[in-house]
């Protein structure tokens, strides 16, 4: 009888009532949950949860997932009930943040100094649609008649947090003597503050700036103020740093603005008042009082990653940073710092425990995170100068059997006679290669364990001392078949320089696993393995991938384009919207910089070899994770090179990081990338915008390449470094040398 009742319960649960798709998303966002959080809890794919929330054509969950999903939504609805004003049918909620308005349409200021209404909802940023008077009293945009509007009675129905209704950031400018804050979506706020302490107070109490947490266990992003040169003058700050201040990274503690903040009981972090200053008061309970400053004229926006963003007008700069903030996260420093902060924002070290006997919650370890305490790396993973190596002789040089050296490719070879008869050298570049290498990668979360003569386990992250010199690339396993190759024309997958290893060396797990995949036996001598592990970078990858694809789609490059159409779209994408092109560059820099921060080296401050440096105190100082990502990225690239060589007989001329150069008769990648019945080679190079697919990097003539090598007397000069525009200076070639 109980089985019958269970069957009836399951039948009823399979038809559990669910709210409309926009309400589902509102409830998820209101609680700070990401699509990945819900997917992990319900044990479904991320795309499945996204389909359940699709405003255009929602997919209804089925089976036991429907019952669990309905239970989740019911609990969230009790926590975040919809206001009466939000219950009527609302406009469809976009599945992902939409592009911000064209910089030509921000709210302009009238001759009387008042700000007209905010743009129409069609051009608004991804936040609640509201009237021009949606902000607080002193900062509310004025109507043309000068009367300030009233705040809406209820939060919008799209799930946007009303605490941050004006967006994540504002660009503060005082160009015409009146201080204004240019927010995302074209909104302009009047700023009454006349001093830096008053500006911080206004930001926290009236500006309604900030960004909701990316994880239920995380914290909301602090509001970001970007100060233009005119704003710096208005608040008593220098427009540019002196050489001494630039080297120190901050203005002196005795500066009058720093003293003003101190008198108002505001504090600065250890890095002081620099290009990315953080002003705060110690938190009291759940209330956090902190404002982040960004000062472009102090080189806060590095031109290598942000291009000319620092020279943009306020409204356009707000657009660029706003798109980045809505799709990645609010910038918290350089792109490298932001990339690292994004990891911890998605996987906070702690979470709230279940209530104890007294109903109190406590901070406990958040499973899947790196924890709140740093862990020591293995000796082989330690960079030179690390405290673990303080007993080594001062000028000791560690070899491959003592040091893990997983780096990106820098390999080149002379052209064969047949390749010299071809017309062109064509470079292809892997999109978001290191992000793709992080996708689905299992990395260590805790401290390493030392073992001797272990059996290799490809699922166990760690560092392995193993001899791979017996792996012969002239005969390897590609899938289920053995293929014959010309090993002299291939880089080795086991060293960054592409040279065949000469004996035992330390490798990360993906490198050793690739040797097994090629069909060869491995016998590690010892290893440092991490039994506590997980796919820590998955959420980070998904966030950055989605940001990249959404921005490229705004530039006219979509994921479903045919190869020829993709090349055409890529050729002109940056000229379509130079500001969004800046966002693309910043997203890419966030990937590489964030991974680089996992192995940050000393940065002056009187450091001496053998002493600890500041970065070692972070739980996110994890050189083993960086090594694993680079290892997987390099072996992924080598796998495609082998597939291509086995199918076409073509071999790369040069490889640099994620760029590969081939000799071809035509100038386009379509002239040498193979297709089967109109489809790309499975497992090989494929043109497209998705991470892991390739795009055209550049084309030069074979005569150009041979002339360059003859000019610098370097037969193996890495032509991939110069293939994009073909220009190279004597200083560059002399510094780089051959490889």
Give the DSSP letter string of 9-58: HHHHHTT-----HHHHHHHHHHTT--HHHHHHHHTS-HHHHHHHT-SSSP
- Residue 311: give the domain boundaries: 121-150+160-333
Closest-CA residue to 369 (of 619, 14, 115): 619
Q: Tell me if 302 is assigned to some domain.
A: yes
Residue 250 and residue 271 in contact, taking contact as beta carbons nearer than 8 Å? yes
- 58 pLDDT more than 80: no
Cα distances (angstroms) measured from residue 609 to each of 356, 377, 387, 392, 394: 47, 17, 8, 10, 8
- 130 pLDDT more than 70: no
Closest-CA residue to 222 (of 213, 231, 232): 213
What pLDDT is stored for residue 40 in this prediction?
Answer: 82
CATH number at residue 36: 1.10.260
Domain match, 135 and 250 both: yes
What pLDDT is stored for residue 57 in this prediction?
Answer: 65
Q: Tell me if 225 is assigned to some domain.
A: yes
Q: State how far the Cα of 633 lies from the Cα of 638, in Å rounded to an integer.
A: 9
Q: State how far the Cα of 476 lies from the Cα of 388, in Å rounded to an integer.
A: 39
What pLDDT is stored for residue 46 in this prediction?
Answer: 83
Bigger pLDDT: 717 or 14?
717
Domain match, 137 and 76 both: no
Beta bridge partners, 443, equal 534
Domain match, 200 and 327 both: yes
What pLDDT is stored for residue 730 in this prediction?
Answer: 59
Least reliable range by pLDDT among 50-64, 591-605, 673-687, 705-719 = 50-64
What pLDDT is stored for residue 7 in this prediction?
Answer: 55
500-517 pLDDT per residue, tens: 999 999 999 999 999 999
Q: Tell me if 303 is assigned to some domain.
A: yes
Q: How many C-beta neighbours within 10 Å does residue 91 have?
A: 12
Cβ burial, residue 7 (10 Å; 0-12/13-18/19+): exposed
Beta bridge partners, 194, equal none
520-549 pLDDT per residue, tens: 999 999 999 999 999 999 999 999 999 999
By percentage, how much of the chain surpasses pLDDT 90? 65
Q: How confident is the model at residue 491 (pLDDT cuts 50, 70, 90)?
A: very high
Q: Coil, strand, or helix at residue 89? A: coil
Q: State how far the Cα of 409 lies from the Cα of 498, in Å rounded to an integer.
A: 7
Where among 306, 333, 360 does a domain terminate?
333
Residue 664 and residue 428 in contact, taking contact as beta carbons nearer than 8 Å? no
Bigger pLDDT: 210 or 603?
210
3-41 pLDDT per residue, tens: 555 554 555 545 567 888 888 888 887 777 888 888 888
What pLDDT is stored for residue 627 in this prediction?
Answer: 98
- 739 pLDDT more than 70: no
Where among 301, 333, 365 does a domain terminate?
333
| Alpha helices, H only, 425-478 | 433-438
668-710 pLDDT per residue, tens: 999 999 876 667 888 899 999 999 999 999 999 999 999 999 9
Bigger pLDDT: 530 or 44?
530
Domain match, 200 and 290 both: yes
Does the pTM of the predicted model rise above 0.75? yes
- 260 pLDDT more than 80: yes
Q: Coil, strand, or helix at residue 642? A: helix
Bigger pLDDT: 290 or 1?
290
In the block, tokens 């780089």 appear at 736
Q: Tell me if 78 is assigned to some domain.
A: yes
Token readout for 524 is: 């590690």
What pLDDT is stored for residue 732 in this prediction?
Answer: 56
Q: How confident is the model at residue 198 (pLDDT cuts 50, 70, 90)?
A: very high
What pLDDT is stored for residue 111 in this prediction?
Answer: 34
Q: Tell me if 596 is assigned to some domain.
A: no
Domain match, 327 and 249 both: yes
Q: Tell me if 249 is assigned to some domain.
A: yes
Closest-CA residue to 493 (of 485, 501, 483, 481): 501
Domain match, 282 and 135 both: yes
Rounded average pLDDT over 348-352: 91
What pLDDT is stored for residue 60 in this prediction?
Answer: 82
What pLDDT is stored for residue 105 in this prediction?
Answer: 36
The pLDDT mean for the chain works out to 85
Q: Tell me if 323 is assigned to some domain.
A: yes
Please count the structural domains in the chain: 2
Domain match, 175 and 73 both: no
What pLDDT is stored for residue 165 in this prediction?
Answer: 92
Cα distances (angstroms) measured from residue 538 to each of 240, 452, 534, 544: 40, 31, 9, 10
Q: How confident is the model at residue 276 (pLDDT cuts 50, 70, 90)?
A: very high
Beta bridge partners, 309, equal none
What pLDDT is stored for residue 352 in this prediction?
Answer: 86
Closest-CA residue to 187 (of 205, 160, 164): 164
- 137 pLDDT more than 70: no
Domain match, 129 and 271 both: yes
* Interstrand relation of 350-352 and 287-294 (parallel, antiparallel or unpaired): unpaired
Domain match, 192 and 236 both: yes
Where among 298, 333, 368 does a domain terminate?
333
| Alpha helices, H only, 482-622 | 509-517, 538-554, 563-576, 578-597
Q: How many C-beta neighbours within 10 Å does residue 135 have?
A: 25
Strands (E), 206-286: 224-227, 267-268, 278-284
Contacts for 383 with CB less than 8 Å, ≥ 6 apart: 599, 601, 623
Residue 149 and residue 137 in contact, taking contact as beta carbons nearer than 8 Å? no
Q: How many C-beta neighbours within 10 Å does residue 57 have?
A: 7
Q: How far out from the chain centre does Cα 325 lie?
A: 11
What pLDDT is stored for residue 15 in this prediction?
Answer: 57
- C-alpha torsion sign, points 51, 57, 61, 66: positive
Residue 446 backbone dihedrals phi, psi, to 5 degrees: -115, -160
By percentage, how much of the chain surpasses pLDDT 70? 85
Domain match, 125 and 70 both: no
Residue 645 and residue 490 in contact, taking contact as beta carbons nearer than 8 Å? yes
Domain match, 200 and 263 both: yes
Return the C-alpha torsion angle 631, 636, 641, 647, nearest 10. 150
- 87 pLDDT more than 50: no
Q: Tell me if 192 is assigned to some domain.
A: yes
- 133 pLDDT more than 70: no
What pLDDT is stored for residue 258 in this prediction?
Answer: 96
Residue 531 backbone dihedrals phi, psi, to 5 degrees: -75, -30
Least reliable range by pLDDT among 24-28, 323-327, 348-352 = 24-28
Q: State how far the Cα of 501 lies from the Cα of 505, in Å rounded to an integer.
A: 8
What pLDDT is stored for residue 45 in this prediction?
Answer: 82
Return the C-alpha torsion angle 316, 320, 326, 331, nearest 10. -120
Bigger pLDDT: 93 or 551?
551
Domain match, 82 and 125 both: no
Q: Coil, strand, or helix at residue 718? A: coil
Bigger pLDDT: 392 or 655?
655
Residue 112 backbone dihedrals phi, psi, to 5 degrees: -80, -5
63-80 pLDDT per residue, tens: 778 888 888 888 888 777
């Amino acid at each position: 009888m109980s089985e019958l009742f269970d069957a009836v319960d399951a039948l009823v649960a399979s038809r559990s009532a669910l709210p409309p798709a926009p309400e589902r998303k509102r409830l998820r966002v209101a609680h700070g949950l990401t699509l990945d959080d819900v997917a992990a809890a319900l044990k479904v794919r991320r795309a499945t949860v996204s389909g359940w929330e699709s405003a255009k054509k929602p997919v209804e969950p089925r089976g036991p997932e429907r019952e669990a999903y309905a239970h989740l939504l019911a609990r969230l609805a009790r926590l975040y009930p919809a206001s009466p004003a939000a219950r009527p049918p609302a406009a469809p909620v976009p599945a992902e943040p939409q592009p911000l308005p064209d910089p030509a349409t921000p709210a302009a200021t009238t001759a009387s100094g008042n700000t007209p209404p905010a743009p129409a909802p069609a051009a608004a940023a991804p936040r609640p649609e509201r009237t021009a008077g949606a902000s607080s009293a002193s900062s509310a945009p004025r109507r043309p008649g000068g009367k300030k509007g009233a705040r809406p009675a209820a939060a919008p129905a799209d799930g946007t947090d009303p605490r941050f209704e004006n967006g994540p950031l504002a660009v503060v400018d005082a160009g015409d003597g009146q201080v204004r804050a240019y927010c995302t979506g074209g909104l302009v706020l009047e700023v009454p503050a006349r001093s830096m302490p008053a500006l911080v107070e206004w930001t926290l109490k009236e500006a309604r700036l900030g960004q909701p947490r990316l994880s239920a266990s995380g914290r909301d992003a602090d509001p970001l103020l970007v100060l233009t040169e005119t704003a710096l003058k208005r608040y008593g700050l220098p427009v540019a740093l002196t050489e001494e201040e630039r080297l120190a990274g901050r203005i002196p503690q005795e500066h009058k603005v720093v003293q003003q903040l101190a008198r108002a009981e505001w504090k600065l972090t250890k890095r002081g008042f620099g290009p990315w200053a953080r002003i705060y008061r110690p938190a009291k309970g759940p209330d956090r009082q902190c404002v982040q400053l960004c000062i472009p004229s102090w080189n806060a926006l590095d031109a290598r990653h942000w291009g000319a963003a620092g020279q943009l007008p306020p409204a356009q700069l707000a657009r660029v940073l706003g798109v980045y903030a809505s799709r990645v996260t609010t910038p918290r420093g350089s792109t490298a710092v932001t990339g690292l902060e994004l990891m911890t924002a998605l996987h906070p070290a702690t979470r709230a425990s279940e209530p104890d006997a007294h109903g109190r919650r406590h901070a406990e370890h958040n499973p899947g995170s790196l924890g709140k305490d740093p862990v020591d790396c293995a000796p082989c993973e330690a960079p030179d100068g690390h405290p673990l190596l303080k007993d080594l002789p001062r000028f000791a040089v560690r070899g491959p059997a003592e040091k893990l050296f997983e780096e990106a490719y820098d390999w080149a070879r002379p052209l064969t006679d047949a390749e010299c008869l071809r017309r062109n050298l064509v470079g292809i570049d892997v999109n978001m290669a290191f992000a793709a290498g992080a996708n689905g990668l299992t990395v260590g979360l805790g401290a390493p364990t030392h073992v001797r003569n272990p059996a290799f386990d490809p699922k166990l992250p760690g560092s392995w001392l193993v001899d791979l010199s017996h792996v012969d690339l002239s005969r390897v396993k590609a899938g289920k078949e053995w293929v014959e190759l010309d090993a002299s024309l291939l880089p080795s997958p086991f060293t960054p320089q592409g040279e065949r290893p000469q004996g035992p060396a330390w490798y990360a797990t993906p490198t050793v696993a690739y040797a097994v995949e090629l069909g060869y036996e491995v016998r590690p001598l010892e290893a440092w393995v991490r039994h506590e592990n997980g796919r820590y970078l998955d959420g980070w990858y998904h966030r950055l991938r989605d940001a990249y694809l959404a921005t490229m789609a705004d530039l006219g490059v979509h994921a479903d384009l045919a190869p020829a159409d993709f090349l055409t779209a890529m050729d002109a994408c940056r000229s379509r919207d130079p500001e969004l092109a800046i966002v693309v560059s910043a997203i890419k820099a966030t990937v590489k910089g964030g991974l680089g921060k996992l192995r940050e080296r000393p940065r002056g401050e009187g450091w001496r070899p053998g002493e600890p440096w500041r970065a070692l105190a972070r739980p996110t100082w994890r050189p083993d994770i960086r090594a694993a990502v680079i290892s997987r990225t390099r072996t992924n690239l080598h796998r495609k090179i082998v597939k291509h060589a086995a199918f076409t007989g073509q071999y790369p001329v040069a490889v640099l990081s994620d760029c590969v150069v081939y000799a071809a008769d035509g100038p386009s990648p379509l002239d040498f990338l193979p297709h089967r019945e109109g489809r790309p080679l499975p497992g090989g190079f494929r043109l497209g915008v998705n991470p892991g697919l390739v795009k055209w990097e550049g084309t030069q003539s074979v005569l150009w390449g041979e002339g360059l090598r003859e000019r610098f007397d370097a037969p193996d000069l890495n032509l991939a470094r110069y293939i994009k525009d073909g220009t190279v200076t004597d200083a560059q070639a002399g510094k780089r040398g051959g490889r």
